[in-house]
Amino acid sequence: MAKKLSRRSFLECALAGGAAAGTANLTIMRDAFAQASGPIVIGHHCDLTGAISSWGFWHDKAAKAAVDLINQGGGIAGRKLELATEDTESNPASGARKLRNLIQRTNAEFIVGSVHSGVMLSSIPIATELKTIYFSTGEATEATGSKGTRFSFRTGTDTYSIAAASLPWCVESFGKVWTIIYADYAWGQSTAQESKVYIERAGGKVLNAIPVPLDAKDFVPYLAQISADTEVLLPAFIGSLSVAFYTQAKSMGLDKKMKMYSSSASIEAIAPDDIQGAAEGVYFFENFPRQLKAKDDGFHKQFNKLVGIDDVDAREVGGQRVMDKSHGWQAWEDIFALKQAIEASGYKTRKDVEGVIQALEGMQMTNSLAHPQGDKIIRKQDHVGIIDCYISRVENGKLEVKKRIPKEELAQNMPLRHNLSEMPV
Amino acid sequence: MTRRSIEIGMAVSAATFLISVPWLIPALTDNFWVSVITEILIWSLFAASANLLFGYVGLLSFGQALYFGFGMYGVALGIDHLGLSFWPAFGLGIVSAIAMALVSGVFAVRLSWHYFAIITVVFSLIFYFLAVSMKPLTGGDDGINFSLPPVFRFGGSIWSLTDPTFQYFFVLAVVSLCFFLMYRVINSPLGKGFLAIRDNDLRASLIGLNVYVLRLIAFVMAGFLAGVSGALFAFFGRYASASYMFYQVSGEAVVWTIVGGAGTMFGPLVGTTLFIVIREIVSSHWEHHSLIVGLLAILAVIFAPKGIVGLWNGWMTRLGERDAASAPPRLTLQAEP
């Protein structure tokens, strides 16, 4: 009996190995390293499906449009630019796998990364190990903070910079007594934590921080915890949870009792017009105004045209989708930032990546079609985008800019917490 | 060709392939597939934990992701928060998973069938939501990433999982050891007790087996296997996240096991290989690749209820019977009585 079982298990082992061998892709692929004269491959680690796909759609569109534009202008350093896109499925496990796929299989030399915090944080160690620059487009501050490396960069804002840019003005303008209500997961918790620090630093007080489970359908038990003394409410929700929150808060008349201020993520891919006035009167942080008139220049207008959105709601021309404009621009600009750094450093192959990193550290970008969001700098030490920010209010169903916060003010309000530029390559 | 020669041929091919992966694969295709095969080994160990319970004890668990997650977090917290080196962190991951399996098993194995399945899902969900909400400790769904400490230091040389070849062989060694341990247990008197409970727990209790204790032992062992796989996956990904503790992850292990062959030693490895390779090939071209998983699971349940390995074993048994029938009668020196 024992002999029979032993033989069978031996056979089963053989079968498994055979299956693995038989299914392995035996096609000879391209060289592991891009040739100095061949195309440069940028990988797009894009959330095309899953929870955050309504944003990923726009990142994909923006990245493709940017690559087309660069190739029309002669590519990067005279080499054609190729974009390889992989769907992260808005899932850290899939995202990590797809990143290896992009780098090891598709030979992507640089990565324009996910907007999903979990995906980008799971990706950074892999990108670092494979010595590949990874631009995060999401808001987890850890990506260029405590979990950042020499290879992790961002041109946009994170929960730290959003709080630093906006809350000093908000506390002064809206009131000193705040309540925070947030989706009880990483982004909501991070927003609550960073915001509390800056509200208190500006002389305000946070009465309560109320976590709401992700599967909440009825907000009443949580809205009931908001103190009547609250002057300003800071909600932190995304997507359908955000719509549900504003709808129920409005029906309870909270908008008449207190001001509300939230991050751009709460209204991304949503046109205020489409939610029947639920967000009317609410203030939102933006880093690329939805309305052209708020940053009225030809670069912004041309960007809108090339990405295929209107100049008011950032809505798809001829469609209903709304762009996540305060995040989606990064998929465009990150590619141009890489182009600038590659050309400045004389990059030829992967072994020259350190030069690109050094070029990116402290790199200044000028308001142009390449950088339609505006002038900006990637701060050398923490690899964070220092950019102009805006605070807008929903009025008659449109986001109207009320305050522009210059990038210099952001830099001043956001002291360095980490120095990634001293880490080894 | 006889059954034995087929078996030997397959075994030699498999062993040769597995040992040559780090050199063979890059010569034929790209390094990416070495990572995929490493991942297959880890996930097949996870599926083996579901198989131990379902295939050998008759307990359908949708909660193995909980122990996988504890294995992951033991490693990640050990390295990132406690500053542990490789082996203590690995040990912490495994011990955490075993401890959690013991605590939840005390309650879960009192139940059977759908009640057991439900309680395993409930445990998984409780700790999933706890992990999501405890961001300062767990990183929530953002997770925790960490830098790998070296595995060994010999004088001036350092062995680390950052070397893909070393990583592959490390994972292969650990997974092989776990499968060997499982094989020894299944073929021991303890394993026979598991099978007796699977086939008829009432009869098993009537012949003096303590069904509760045996189920608890199996549950903790399955937690151990899931914990080892979780710890390996944390090392492989340099990352841990609450999202891996969701019951859907457990469900994948059950599907891989059923399609590969529940109650067979290497069924989970075959099922996992099949689905991960399909996923890697299809997912770059078609985002709805999981539909294929569903279709294959349905086909397997209808046409191969014992899974691919069960089907193969059936063919081999028939081949063995044919060999025996066609063999010449055995000559003996002694006269028949």
Candidate from A15, A27, A147 with C-beta closest to B270? A15
The whole-number pLDDT of residue B329 equals: 66
State how far the Cα of B230 lies from the Cα of B67, in Å rounded to an integer: 7
Tell which wins on pLDDT, A47 or B323. Answer: A47
The whole-number pLDDT of residue A1 equals: 35
State how far the Cα of A243 lies from the Cα of A234, in Å rounded to an integer: 15
The whole-number pLDDT of residue A409 equals: 96
Type and span of the H or E element at B158: strand B157-159
The whole-number pLDDT of residue B29 equals: 83
Judged by CB atoms closer than 8 Å, whether chains meet at A142 and B142 is answered as yes
Judged by CB atoms closer than 8 Å, whether chains meet at A18 and B17 is answered as yes
CB A378 within 8 A of CB A340: no
Closest approach of B148 to chain A, Cα-based (Å): 9
Q: What is the mean pLDDT of chain B?
A: 89
Architecture of domain A40-157+324-387: 3-Layer(aba) Sandwich (3.40)
Is the dihedral angle over the CA atoms B272, B278, B284, B285 positive or is it negative?
A: negative
Question: What residues of A are in contact with residue B313 (Cβ under 8 Å)?
Answer: 8, 11-12
CB A63 within 8 A of CB A331: yes
Question: What residues of B are in contact with residue A2 (Cβ under 8 Å)?
Answer: 187
Type and span of the H or E element at B219: helix B211-237
The whole-number pLDDT of residue A356 equals: 98
* pLDDT tens profile B171-181: 999 999 999 99
Closest approach of A41 to chain B, Cα-based (Å): 16
The whole-number pLDDT of residue B331 equals: 55
Q: Is the pLDDT of residue A234 over 60?
A: yes
Domain limits, CATH 3.40.50.2300, in chain A: 40-157+324-387, 160-286+392-399
CB B234 within 8 A of CB B75: yes
Could you tell me the pLDDT band of residue A4, with boundaries at 50, 70 and 90? very low
Give the pair of three-digit tokens for residue B228.
């080892």
Number of Cα atoms under 13 Å in the Cβ half of residue A317: 10
In terms of DSSP bridges, do strands B152-154 and A389-395 run parallel, antiparallel, or are they unpaired?
unpaired
Comparing alpha-carbon positions, the chain B residue that sits nearest to A49 is B287
Comparing alpha-carbon positions, the chain A residue that sits nearest to B308 is A15
Q: Is the pLDDT of residue A223 over 70?
A: yes
Comparing alpha-carbon positions, the chain A residue that sits nearest to B284 is A86
The whole-number pLDDT of residue A30 equals: 40
State how far the Cα of A113 lies from the Cα of A217, in Å rounded to an integer: 31
In terms of DSSP bridges, do strands A376-378 and A364-365 run parallel, antiparallel, or are they unpaired?
antiparallel
- CB count in 10 Å sphere of residue B8: 15
The whole-number pLDDT of residue B225 equals: 97
Candidate from B147, B187, B266 with C-beta closest to A5? B187
| Average pLDDT rounded to a whole number, residues A205-212 | 94
* pLDDT tens profile B244-283: 888 888 998 999 999 999 889 889 999 999 988 888 888 7
Comparing alpha-carbon positions, the chain B residue that sits nearest to A101 is B32
The whole-number pLDDT of residue A197 equals: 96
Give the pair of three-digit tokens for residue A420.
């990634």
State how far the Cα of A303 lies from the Cα of A299, in Å rounded to an integer: 6
| Average pLDDT rounded to a whole number, residues A249-262 | 92
Question: What residues of B are in contact with residue A21 (Cβ under 8 Å)?
Answer: 13-14, 17
State how far the Cα of A174 lies from the Cα of A185, in Å rounded to an integer: 27
Question: What residues of A are in contact with residue B162 (Cβ under 8 Å)?
Answer: 129
Candidate from B14, B29, B146 with C-beta closest to A17? B14
Q: How much is the pTM?
A: 0.81
Tally C-beta pairs within 8 A across A and B.
188
Quickly name the fold that domain A160-286+392-399 has.
Rossmann fold (3.40.50)
The whole-number pLDDT of residue A124 equals: 93
Could you tell me the pLDDT band of residue B7, with boundaries at 50, 70 and 90? confident
Least-confidence region, from A394-408, B8-22, B322-336: B322-336
Closest approach of A280 to chain B, Cα-based (Å): 30
Judged by CB atoms closer than 8 Å, whether chains meet at B17 and A118 is answered as no
DSSP summary character for residue B62: S
Candidate from A11, A48, A126 with C-beta closest to B238? A126
Q: Is the pLDDT of residue A9 over 70?
A: no
DSSP summary character for residue A103: I
Question: What residues of B are in contact with residue A117 (Cβ under 8 Å)?
Answer: 141-142
DSSP summary character for residue B147: P
Comparing alpha-carbon positions, the chain A residue that sits nearest to B163 is A129
Judged by CB atoms closer than 8 Å, whether chains meet at B10 and A17 is answered as yes
* pLDDT tens profile A126-139: 999 999 999 999 99
Q: Is the pLDDT of residue A11 over 50?
A: no
Number of Cα atoms under 13 Å in the Cβ half of residue B257: 28
The whole-number pLDDT of residue B292 equals: 83
Query: Which string of b and e fits A195-226 if b means at least 16 CB within 10 Å?
Result: bbebbeebebebbebbbbebebeebeebbeeb
Closest approach of B201 to chain A, Cα-based (Å): 23
Question: What residues of B are in contact with residue A158 (Cβ under 8 Å)?
Answer: none
Q: Do you know the residue count of chain A?
A: 425
Comparing alpha-carbon positions, the chain B residue that sits nearest to A48 is B287
Distance of CA A373 to the CA centre of its chain: 14
Comparing alpha-carbon positions, the chain A residue that sits nearest to B290 is A89
> Domain map of chain B by residue range?
36-246
Judged by CB atoms closer than 8 Å, whether chains meet at B141 and A29 is answered as no
The whole-number pLDDT of residue B8 equals: 86
Judged by CB atoms closer than 8 Å, whether chains meet at B183 and A9 is answered as yes
CB B35 within 8 A of CB B198: no
The whole-number pLDDT of residue A36 equals: 61
Return the HEC string of B90-136: HHHHHHHHHHHHHHHHHHHCCCCHHHHHHHHHHHHHHHHHHHHHCHH
B280 φ, ψ (degrees, to nearest 5): -65, -35
Judged by CB atoms closer than 8 Å, whether chains meet at A118 and B18 is answered as no
Judged by CB atoms closer than 8 Å, whether chains meet at B14 and A105 is answered as no
Q: Which amino acid is at A422?
A: E
Judged by CB atoms closer than 8 Å, whether chains meet at A96 and B32 is answered as no
State how far the Cα of B275 lies from the Cα of B283, in Å rounded to an integer: 11
pLDDT > 90 fraction of chain A, expressed in percent and rounded? 76
Judged by CB atoms closer than 8 Å, whether chains meet at B141 and A122 is answered as no
CB A119 within 8 A of CB B236: no
Tell which wins on pLDDT, A326 or B29. Answer: A326
How many helices (H) and strands (E) chain A has is answered by 13, 15
Could you tell me the pLDDT band of residue A381, with boundaries at 50, 70 and 90? very high
To probe the interface with B, which of A5, A7, A8, A12 has the most B CB atoms within 10 Å?
A: A12
* pLDDT tens profile A68-92: 999 999 999 999 999 999 999 888 8
3-state secondary structure of B41: helix
Comparing alpha-carbon positions, the chain A residue that sits nearest to B278 is A23
| Average pLDDT rounded to a whole number, residues B294-306 | 84
The whole-number pLDDT of residue A349 equals: 93
Could you tell me the pLDDT band of residue A5, with boundaries at 50, 70 and 90? very low
CB B62 within 8 A of CB B43: no
Could you tell me the pLDDT band of residue B327, with boundaries at 50, 70 and 90? confident
Closest approach of B265 to chain A, Cα-based (Å): 6
| Average pLDDT rounded to a whole number, residues A393-402 | 96
| Average pLDDT rounded to a whole number, residues B84-111 | 94
**ipTM > 0.95 for the complex:** no
